[in-house]
Chains A and B, each alone.
Chain A
Amino acid sequence: DAGITQSPRHKVTETGTPVTLRCHQTENHRYMYWYRQDPGHGLRLIHYSYGVKDTDKGEVSDGYSVSRSKTEDFLLTLESATSSQTSVYFCAISAMSTGYGTEAFFGQGTRLTVV
């Protein structure tokens, strides 16, 4: 398995509290992505990173922020959690280059429940 770890795997939090999810990789891949997955919506991109301190918004970025201070870690923060952010969150990593191909490796997911 590709070296990618998400933590925590499960979390229940209260509305209005801040939450940080961590994605850690040991593959030294340049690209890292955060997605959320909800029934009927597939995988929706929240934020992604194309290098240390280089990040950009995806299609559902409102209410989320990210940071990447080193290659191996990509943090997703919900500044003030809402019930609409209850979801399964996936992190993915990829070399994403013509030479290495486009394969992205996914973590096992974090199930977040906001009550």
Chain B
Amino acid sequence: GESVGLHLPTLSVQEGDNSIINCAYSNSASDYFIWYKQESGKGPQFIIDIRSNMDKRQGQRVTVLLNKTVKHLSLQIAATQPGDSAVYFCAEVMTGANSKLTFGKGITLSVRP
């Protein structure tokens, strides 16, 4: 079947370099912002989330930055590895209400050996 990454913007990085994936979100009322990774033929997998009252959160090899002033979210991946090649989606949700979880369009990350 067609690749999930077909027709999506692509970011190409050299193995070992740091990657920065950017996302613009739409709803100022969202209280959580989330990053997902999707490998070919699989469903998306959770990477990390950040609450709206924070501007930075770190995980294992990943950092998420939130700029509410310009409604911008980024995912930084340190020392990018071939296994990081995938499609990355940002998502947003307003918890406590109906918790509607919506996704951005996605970006394909391609890691060059």
Contacts and interface: CB of A to CB of B under 8 A. Distances in A.
Do the two chains bind? yes
Query: Contact residue range for chain B?
Result: 20 to 34
A58 interface: yes
Contact of B45 (A35, A37, A56, A106): A106
Interface stretch (A14-22, A41-49, A62-70, A77-85): A41-49
Dominant secondary structure at the A interface = strand
Contacts, number: 84
A40 B49 CA distance: 24
14 contacts: A31-B101, A39-B8, A45-B100, A45-B102, A48-B100, A56-B98, A56-B100, A88-B1, A90-B43, A96-B93, A103-B46, A103-B49, A104-B101, A106-B44
List the 10 shortest-distance A-B pairs measured between CB atoms, nearest first: A106-B43, A40-B7, A42-B105, A39-B6, A43-B103, A103-B46, A96-B99, A42-B106, A102-B32, A102-B49
